[in-house]
Structure 1
């Protein structure tokens, strides 16, 4: 590149006139590259103050993702781009953009016997860009309730982990991931 173009770009970048789409700032996150070697890590903050009796399960679900993927980290704190609340409905997530949204920890699934940490990890999966996959297999975190109440596996499988790594690997993921309301309900299960 000619020196003049490079100098203009550096000046624009310095003045904040250039935004890198898909970078940590675009997702409301920080880059903790030093913590995890050469991988760019996006830190996503969550607020579980409204999660009532599910606070510990939410923290465990976040920790599971932190242990499972390298380039995104879920941290309780602010400014929170993820809000977690408890309600009496079925668990669900509203995801307006990748890495941001509201998780509803619904008591209905817990009352029916579904594993609360699996629910929390599953709903974080939606925030991280994963859709429901109603495979009925317990080893698939995103199979959700279709795996039955005996399934207590809260860990994402290799395919799910790889997709989250791709989602947060940079590029235009934040542009292309539109708002999605994900509802894990029996009605949806019957429809799929």
Structure 2
């Protein structure tokens, strides 16, 4: 949606009228360009049987936020996010914002938790979101507190806005998670 201000409308009218009066022709001012998304790469080669769930979790974040884009790492490059499978509980070890390690733990999967929801949730920690427990299924960051019947892998509007703010998108007034160095176990 484009909003034209009175000053912008007057300037556009002047630019159109100047060529008619013999003045120099100039181009209208350009719309401000949208900020480019910060690209974060992830390496799911150690995610074993959960690789497809990790790829889907990354795709969900790409569908729902504009300020950051998650891409699989190219061969020979170092990834921002490393994703591993293990026999423990799912968890994230965030480093700086957008960097860290995610574990897709088989313990939760064996208990019936959805692998795509786990993936999206743990990637959410790397994107700066804290757990919000207890919470409803509509909150991705409610994690396991929503129960095994919850299959929702999508961040809600507040979670999306917080990630946008964390990565320089639309400011929401929500502070980024300050526990970046902590292990977040779900």
Normalized against structure 2, the TM-score is what?
A: 0.75
User: Contact (CA 8 Å) 1:136, 1:148: kept in 2 or not?
Assistant: no
| Partner-residue secondary structure (3-state), 2:102 | strand
> If each structure's helix is expressed as a fraction of its own residues, which one has the higher value?
1
What 5-or-longer segments of structure 2 have no aligned partner?
1-32, 170-174
- RMSD between superposed Cα atoms in Å: 1.9
Distance in 1 between residues matched to 2:168 and 2:38, nearest whole Å: 9
Aligned positions, number: 146
Query: What do the CA deviations read for 1:114-149 (whole angstroms, capped 9, x no partner)?
Result: 000000000000000000001330000000000000
1:64 to 53, 60, 77: 60
In structure 2, the partner of 1:23 is: none
User: Contact (CA 8 Å) 2:138, 2:156: kept in 1 or not?
Assistant: yes
| Partner-residue secondary structure (3-state), 1:97 | coil
2:44 to 40, 48, 58: 48
* Pair member with larger Rg: 2
Normalized against structure 1, the TM-score is what?
A: 0.72
User: Contact (CA 8 Å) 1:98, 1:177: kept in 2 or not?
Assistant: no
Runs of 4+ displaced beyond 6 Å: none
User: Contact (CA 8 Å) 2:138, 2:152: kept in 1 or not?
Assistant: yes
